[in-house]
Amino acid sequence: MNKFYYGLAICLINSSAIAHELTPTYPELRPSYIDEVSVTNMKMWNRRNDVQYYEIGVFDEEWEPIPFATPAALLKLEYLEHKSFEIYIRDKDVARVEYICTTSKQLKIDVQSTGVKSKICSRMK
Amino acid sequence: MFKSITLISAMIVATSAYAVDSPITGNVSSKCSIFTDKAGVYGNPTPDELSTLTADGGVLPIIRYDVSIADYYTAKISWPNSFSSSPTLTDSIAWDGEVTVSATSDAGMSGYEAAKVEYDNHTEYDLTVAGSTWFTVESEAVYGQDKSLPGGEYKANVVAECIAD
């Protein structure tokens, strides 16, 4: 019970809490308008006021990068901005795709003594 | 009297005539959010050491994970094992750290700390209960063999990951 109150206190004291969200948890690839290329839609919400850039990555089960195309591999999102984006993957790579991730990229000048790099990964089902 | 009864009847009839269902529908989907509740700061308790421990003059970073549905995500938190920026260092740094659950929003999360998996500088928690969990990250860096750290600014990153199961 004490832990709950401690948690609640942190919530109230740290009203400047900042967050990073990526949905959906389990995206699905569908055929795109380009032959032999599949596409999925993802959505980001930037609630980190110390971060404006997020890097998109696509990985296999062993966390090896998989080639993909997207309008901007480095997303710029202002604080509290929502952004939807499409990820295009060649059909020959579709079976290997396991994770789609976004990772915060902080500018050197924005990092305090210890910065927090946040990474959220959705998984193909 | 007759007029009043007629009026009331008309109101009742009218009300029932225009009463329609206005359903509100919603959908709760699985989602993970990572909050940086508190950025950490290194203290410098001895000339060769940097530490986020309060006793060493530092500030512990606090990271909060919110999951909307149970059992969909794993939290992986890594304490730093290199500086993202620092003055030029001519000797090695010995890194150490610890990630602990400092608070939870649900009693069902009480087992998280005992069930955590640690390897290298990483700690993994299976987020089996929906709600919020707060993690505290300790980080210590000790320089060379009794050497003082060069003067300047030191920065390091904690990596907080939320990976769909």
The answer to whether A33 contacts chain B (CB < 8 Å) is no
Q: Rounded to an integer, what distance in angstroms lies between the CA atom of residue B103 and that of residue B106?
A: 9
What is residue B19's predicted lDDT score, i.e. its pLDDT?
A: 66
Domain, as residue range, for A102: 18-123
Q: How many domains does chain A have?
A: 1
3-state secondary structure of B14: helix
* Residue B102 with chain A: CB contacts under 8 Å: 6
Mean pLDDT of chain B: 87
| Predicted TM-score of the model (pTM) | 0.81
3-state secondary structure of B19: coil
Q: Rounded to an integer, what distance in angstroms lies between the CA atom of residue A119 and that of residue B45?
A: 31
What is residue A7's predicted lDDT score, i.e. its pLDDT?
A: 43
- What DSSP string runs through B53-89? -GGGT-B--EEEEEESSTTSEEEEEE--SS-SB-S--
Q: B159 with B77: CB under 8 angstroms?
A: yes
What is residue B53's predicted lDDT score, i.e. its pLDDT?
A: 94
* Predicted confidence (pLDDT) per residue in B26-79, tens digit: 777 778 999 888 888 999 999 999 999 999 999 999 999 999 888 899 999 999
User: Residue A71: inside a domain, yes or no?
Assistant: yes
Q: H helices of chain B, where? A: 2-18, 112-115
User: Residue A64: inside a domain, yes or no?
Assistant: yes
Q: Which domains does chain B have, with CATH numbers?
A: 32-164 (2.60.40)
- What DSSP string runs through A53-65? EEEEEEE-TT--B
Of A116, A119, A121, the CB nearest to B39: A116
Do A4 and B41 count as a contact with CB atoms less than 8 A apart? no
Q: A42 with A23: CB under 8 angstroms?
A: yes
User: Residue A3: inside a domain, yes or no?
Assistant: no
Q: Is the peptide bond before B23 cis (omega within 30 degrees of 0)?
A: no
Do B161 and A116 count as a contact with CB atoms less than 8 A apart? no
User: Residue A11: inside a domain, yes or no?
Assistant: no
Per-residue pLDDT of chain A (125 residues; tens, 9 = 90+): 444 444 444 443 344 456 788 989 999 999 999 999 999 999 998 888 888 899 999 999 999 999 999 988 889 999 889 999 999 999 999 999 999 999 998 776 666 667 888 999 999 97
The larger pLDDT score, comparing residue B36 to residue B118, is at B118
The answer to whether B70 contacts chain A (CB < 8 Å) is no
What CATH number is given to the structural domain containing A64?
2.60.40.10
Do A115 and B161 count as a contact with CB atoms less than 8 A apart? no
